[in-house]
Amino acid sequence: MKLLFVCMGNICRSPTVAAVARVEFARAGLAVEVESAGTEDYHIGARADPRSIAIAEAHGYRLSDHRARQVCSADFTRFDHLLVMDNTNLRALLAKAPASERERVALFLPFVGISEPAELPDPYYGGAGDFQRALDLARDGIMALVRRMLG
């Protein structure tokens, strides 16, 4: 399976979710290819937000090597699922998706069975607590996906 996690700039939420996924899938013995990308081009080539790096790495999730990238057309056929953090980016990604590939695009938390909250909030304009909340939701979502994949 191949998963692409998507947020707006690819420096906070989606790279955090991808970092958690890599570790937790490996711990569970699941062979899943994981990447992240943004719907916008604001931060292409940039490292993850230092606050995201600090929170993720404090919990054992390596994020310091991340470099932001934007979703490209090949992603719609390369990945089995493109899992988006919020409704704004869901709309943006669906607008870019070929009609035949739109079924691959979904909101991350509802896709893994978490309906409340339905969106993973953007911590960018917040403080340390917002980044911790994003990591907690990333971990909750990935662990729900691990449980589902293991049956």
Q: How far is residue 79's CA from residue 97's CA, in Å, rounded to a whole number?
A: 12
Average pLDDT of 22-28? 98
Q: How far is residue 26's CA from residue 4's CA, in Å, rounded to a whole number?
A: 16
Task: Tell me which amino acid residue 27 is.
Answer: R
Average pLDDT of 127-144? 97
- Annotated catalytic residue: which of 49, 75, 86, 122? 122
Could you tell me the residue ranges of all domains in the chain?
A: 2-150
Average pLDDT of 66-85? 98
- Annotated catalytic residue: which of 13, 22, 51, 104? 13
pLDDT at 26: 98
pLDDT at 5: 98
Q: How far is residue 10's CA from residue 131's CA, in Å, rounded to a whole number?
A: 14
Assess whether 130 carries a catalytic annotation. no
Look at domain 2-150 and name its CATH class. Answer: alpha beta
Average pLDDT of 68-75? 98
pLDDT at 38: 98
Assess whether 13 carries a catalytic annotation. yes
pLDDT at 31: 96
Rounded mean pLDDT of the chain? Answer: 97
Assess whether 7 carries a catalytic annotation. yes
Task: List the one residue out of 71, 36, 72 whose CA is nearest residue 52.
Answer: 36
